[in-house]
Chain A
C-alpha cells in the first residue's frame, strides 16, 4: 500500500504560523478529493516538540501526524526527520548557523535523516550556497516541490536534483490552514511511524506530488486582433 505524506508543515508552535493542527486536519478532511494525503509531518522552526501528543486528533480525523523539525544551517534550511534526545543535546536547534555537513552526517549516525528543503530559494536554499561553497556530501534527498516556492524556485531545485542525483521529496511548507497538503510525497510503502518514514526516505522509493491547482488559461485578446 502506498502512502502520501505532506513532509513539511508548520503549526502555531512555529512563531510565524497561525495554523492550529486541528484546523489543518479538518481542512484536509474537507479537501480529500483534491489533496489525498494520508498524513502530515509538523516540521516546526528551530525546535522539536517531544512532549506533544496528537493521537486523539489523528484518531478523530483518520490522518497520520508525525513530528520533525526544520533547522537552519550554513547551507540553508534542513528538515530533520527522526529527531532524538541525543540530536537535541548535540545540536542547538535555535542556532541559525548550524554546520550542515555535521547535521547531515551525525543525524544519520543517530538514526535519522536530514533533508535540505526549498533548495531553490534565495539565501536559505542549497543552490545559492553551492555557487559559493563546495557541495555537501552524503545528501540523500532534497525538497523539490515546496508549496511556498515563488516562480523559478522549484525549477532550480529540479536542476539541482538532475545535477547531483539526489532523491526528491515534496511538502507544502504550509503556515496557513488553506495551504496544507498542496505539495506532498508519494511513498511506495505503508508508513505509520516516524521510524517507517526515516527508513523509506533512506531507501528512496518515493517521489514528490503536486496538488496545487492549475490556473485556467487566460483569454488571448491578441488572437482576436490577428483575425
Chain B
C-alpha cells in the first residue's frame, strides 16, 4: 500500500506554544508524584553542591510539557484505528526552576511496517523543548500507530 500524504509536511513546524514558567513547586510536586527522592531534584542545598550547581528537574519532567489544543489536528492519520505507541525522549540540558519552556512540533517521519497483527503506519511527531535563552533542553518523539 502506497502511503498517501503530502511529503511537504515532513519537517514543517505546526506548533509553537507559549512559554511555560517552571517553578520550584512544580518540580517538587512532580518528584513527589513519581517518588523521586534524589536530592539533586528535591533538596536545594544538596543540589547547590551537586554537578548542576542548583536544583534541577528530573529528566522525565520534560514530558510534562503539553502541545497546544490543536496538536492532533496536525497529526496525519491513516485508517480509523490507532493509539499512542510511546515516546522517545532525548535529554539535552537540565530544566531548572525559573526557566520558561516553549515547545515546537513537527512531523519527523512517517513509515509503514508489518507485524504479527498486520500492517501498521507509524507517525513520529518531534517536539523540541527550549528554555528562555533558546537553548534546546529536550527532544520528545511522540510515536503514533495507525491501522490502515
Contacts and interface: CB of A to CB of B under 8 A. Distances in A.
Interface in B114-148: 114-119, 122
Interface string B84-117: 0000000000000000000000000001111111
Interface stretch (A104-112, A121-129, A216-224): A121-129
B122 A121 contact: no
Contacts of A122: 116-117
Interface of B is mostly: strand
Contacts of B113: 45-46, 72, 96
Q: Chain A interface mostly helix, strand, loop or mixed? A: loop
Nearest to A97: B1
Report, as a range, how many residues of chain A touch the other chain: 10 to 19
Contacts of A94: 111
A15 B114 CA distance: 13
Given A45-B113, A72-B113, A96-B112, A123 B118 contact: yes
Contacts of B115: 123-124
20 contacts: A15-B111, A15-B122, A46-B113, A72-B113, A72-B114, A76-B114, A77-B114, A94-B111, A96-B1, A96-B112, A96-B113, A96-B119, A121-B116, A122-B116, A122-B117, A123-B116, A123-B117, A123-B118, A124-B114, A124-B115
Interface of B: 1, 111-119, 122
